[in-house]
Structure 1
C-alpha cells in the first residue's frame, strides 16, 4: 500500500471548493480502508497497516467532524435562509437525510475506530468487512448527493459576501486566523446603529453640562475606558499627529490632561496651542469632538495631581524623557531604578511635567443612527461667551 501526496487545497475564499476538496480526501481515506481490508489477511498488522490505520483515524477523528460542522452550522443554515421556491422544497427533502446520515456515519465510525486503533498499535489485525463496506457505501452516496444538489445550489445562490462569510466561519472553526479585510472587503464592513436619538431640543443649553450627562451615562454603561480620548495636535509645518490620553478633569474652564511638556505633543502645543479631542464610546454608539485653544494648568494644579498618582507612576514620569529615543528597554528600566533610589517615597514633580487644559470653542455630539443617517448637534462659542447650537447633516 502506498499513500499519494496530498493535492494542493483551494483557499477559503472558495469555500465550496474547500468542501469538495474535503470530499476528495475522504474518498482517499475510504480507499485506504478498503485496501487495508484486503491487506490485513495476507500481511497482518505490519508497519504499512499500522501507518494506514493511524492515517485513517487521524482524518476521521478530526477533519471529517469539522467538515460535518461546516455543513450543519454554516452551509445548510445559510442555504435555508437564502433558498426559495423549488430550491427551498429540495432542501426540505435533502437536509433531514443529510443530517441523519451524519449521525449514522458517526456511529459507524466509533465501531471502526476501535478496530483501527488495535491495528495502529499492532494489538489486532482484523477489520469487519461488512462494517467497512457499509461505511464506504454510505459516505460515497452521501458525498455524491451533496455534490449533485447542495454544492451547485450554493454556488448559484450565494453572493460574494455570503461566500466570504462561509469561508471565514470555516477558517475560524479550524483555528486559522482570518486575514485582515483588505480592498473591496473593507468596504463591506459596517455596523448599523440604532440605540438612541439626539435632538437639538433635548440637549442641554451648555455643552459642558451635556458632556457631563453623556459621561455619566458612559460610566453607568461601563464603557471601556470612558476617560480615554484622542488628542490631535499639529507641528510647525501644519502636519497633524494624534494619540490616546486620559482626561483627568473637566469643568467650565475646559478639559484637562497631564503629560511631559517636552514630549512631542508638548512641543507641538508650545508652538501651535490648539488641539482637537475625540471621545468614542462604541457601546453607546456615541462620539464627542472638541476643538479649542490649549493652555498649561497652574503649578498648584499640576502639583496636586502629580502627588495624587501612584508612586511608581510618579517615578516613571521622572525617569522617562517622553518621546525621546533610548537604546533599549533595559536602559529605560535602569533609569527608573536610579530615580527610585534617588527619590525614594517622595519624588518631586519635575518642572517639565504638568497639565494641559483645552478651552473649548466647538463641541460636537454625535449619536449613531440607522443607515448612516446620524444625529449631529454642534455647539459653537460666540464672542459674548454664549453657545450657539445647531444640527449638522450626517
Structure 2
C-alpha cells in the first residue's frame, strides 16, 4: 500500500514546484489511507496494514504541517504584499478560506490519527470509511484550489528574488542548510548532537532490557524505520559485506530476521556464522552495535513467521532466487506469475527460506553528544552468562 522508493523532489530554487510535489505526496498518502479501509476488512491489522498506518501517521504528523506553514507564513503573506487589482481581490477571498481549511483538516486528522495509531500498534483493525472519505475529499478540493488559483498567481507575480526568498524560508523551516558548492562539501557536513545523555549507572543491567527501552522510545518518537538494521557478514576468505534488513523479533535468545538461506548473507553465514548488526536512529541521535554468533531459527518459528506474511510477500520469497543474477525485470515478474499460478492462496514455506538469530556477545549503546564527545556504553557477555558493563571513550 506504500511506495518503497520516494519520488525525485525538485530543489528549493523551485519553491512552487516543491509545493506541488508536496501535494503529490499528500495524494499518495490519501490513496494509501483509502486502500487501507478494504484491506483491514479483508486481512485485519496485518503487517502490511500496520506499516501503512505508520507511514500515513508519519507524513500527516510531520510533513503536512510544514507544508501548511509554508503557505500560511510565507506564500500567502508574500502574495498579499505583491498582488494588486483583481489579484488582490481574489486573494482576499482565497487566503482566509485556505487557512480555515487547514484548521478544518487538522481537526479531521486528529480523529483519524487515533484510529491509525491503534492499527499501527496492532490493537485495532477498523478505520471509519466516512471519515477517510471526508478527509480525502476535503484535501483533494483544497489542493485543486491552490494549484488552480494560488500557484499560478505566484508564478505570474513573483520575481526571481521573491522566489529565492520563498525557497530559502521553506528550506530553513525543514532545517536544511543551503547547498555547499565547493569540493569540500562532504568534509564540511557536520551536526552537533545534544538531545540526551547516557550514564553507565542509569542503564539497565541487562542489555536486552536496555535495547527494549530504546526501541520503545524510537517507536514513540516515530523514528523512520526503527526496525531497520544493517547486517554485516564475512565470507570464508574474510571479505565483508553489509545490507539493510528488518528485525522481526528480539528477546533473551537474540535478534531475529528472515531471509533466503541461499542469498549472499545466507551463504556467508554458512561459511562464517558470526555477524554484526547496527541500528541507527538519527532522530534520537542514537545507534546500537550488536555482535555475536548466528544460528538458524527452528523450522517451527520460520513456518510461523512465513505464514504471517502477506500472500504476495510469501509468493515473492518463493519466486526470487535471492542474490542470483537474472536477465531483466520481466523475467523476475514472469517467475512471480508462474509461482502465483502454481501455489495459489496457500504457498508452503520453501526449505531454503527461514530465520537467522544473532546470539549477542557484545552490545554497544551510543548516544550522540556535543563536540563529538559522545557517550558509549558497552555490554560484554561473560563465560558465566552474565554481562559486564563499561564506558568506552568516544
* C-alpha deviation, 1:70, in angstroms: 5.5
Match of 1:66 among 150, 154, 160: 160
- String of CA shifts for 1:69-118, please: whole Å, max 9, x gaps: 658997xxxxxxxxxxxxxxxxxxxxxxxxxxxxxxxxxxxxxxxxxxxx
Instruction: Tell me how far apart the structure 2 counterparts of residues 64 and 303 of structure 1 sit (CA, whole Å).
Output: 61
Instruction: Tell me how far apart the structure 1 counterparts of residues 232 and 287 of structure 2 sit (CA, whole Å).
Output: 15
For normalisation by structure 2, the TM-score amounts to: 0.56
Q: Report what 2:80 is aligned to.
A: none
Q: Report what 2:319 is aligned to.
A: 319
SS in 2 for 1:304: helix
* C-alpha deviation, 1:65, in angstroms: 2.2
Instruction: Tell me how far apart the structure 1 counterparts of residues 267 and 341 of structure 2 sit (CA, whole Å).
Output: 29
Q: Report what 2:333 is aligned to.
A: 333
Q: Report what 2:375 is aligned to.
A: 375
Q: Report what 2:385 is aligned to.
A: 385
Residue-pair matches, total: 236
- String of CA shifts for 1:237-296, please: whole Å, max 9, x gaps: 111110000000000000000000000000000000000000001111100000000000
Instruction: Tell me how far apart the structure 2 counterparts of residues 64 and 351 of structure 1 sit (CA, whole Å).
Output: 63
> Please, what is the CA RMSD of the aligned residues?
2.6
- String of CA shifts for 1:143-195, please: whole Å, max 9, x gaps: xxxxxxxxxxxxxxxxxxxxxx7xx5xxxxxxxxx58x774221111111111
Sort the Cα spacing of 1:304 and 1:189 in 2 relative to 1 into closer, same or farther, 3 A: same
Instruction: Tell me how far apart the structure 1 counterparts of residues 222 and 276 of structure 2 sit (CA, whole Å).
Output: 25
Instruction: Tell me how far apart the structure 2 counterparts of residues 229 and 252 of structure 1 sit (CA, whole Å).
Output: 18
Q: Report what 1:274 is aligned to.
A: 274
- String of CA shifts for 1:292-342, please: whole Å, max 9, x gaps: 000000100000000000000000000000000000111101010000000
Q: Report what 2:366 is aligned to.
A: 366
Instruction: Tell me how far apart the structure 1 counterparts of residues 251 and 329 of structure 2 sit (CA, whole Å).
Output: 38
SS in 1 for 2:355: strand
Sort the Cα spacing of 1:204 and 1:70 in 2 relative to 1 into closer, same or farther, 3 A: same
Sort the Cα spacing of 1:65 and 1:266 in 2 relative to 1 into closer, same or farther, 3 A: same
Instruction: Tell me how far apart the structure 2 counterparts of residues 296 and 361 of structure 1 sit (CA, whole Å).
Output: 17
Instruction: Tell me how far apart the structure 2 counterparts of residues 182 and 62 of structure 1 sit (CA, whole Å).
Output: 33
Instruction: Tell me how far apart the structure 2 counterparts of residues 305 and 72 of structure 1 sit (CA, whole Å).
Output: 49
Instruction: Tell me how far apart the structure 2 counterparts of residues 240 and 268 of structure 1 sit (CA, whole Å).
Output: 9
Instruction: Tell me how far apart the structure 2 counterparts of residues 388 and 330 of structure 1 sit (CA, whole Å).
Output: 53
SS in 2 for 1:209: helix
- String of CA shifts for 1:201-220, please: whole Å, max 9, x gaps: 01000000000000000001
SS in 1 for 2:339: helix
1:289 corresponds to 2:289: yes
SS in 2 for 1:292: strand
Structure 1: segments with no counterpart, 5+ residues: 1-60, 75-164, 169-177
Instruction: Tell me how far apart the structure 2 counterparts of residues 317 and 194 of structure 1 sit (CA, whole Å).
Output: 42
Question: 1:1-394 residue pairs with structure 2 within 5 A?
Answer: 65-67=159-161, 168=178, 183-394=183-394
Sort the Cα spacing of 1:351 and 1:69 in 2 relative to 1 into closer, same or farther, 3 A: closer
Instruction: Tell me how far apart the structure 2 counterparts of residues 215 and 186 of structure 1 sit (CA, whole Å).
Output: 30
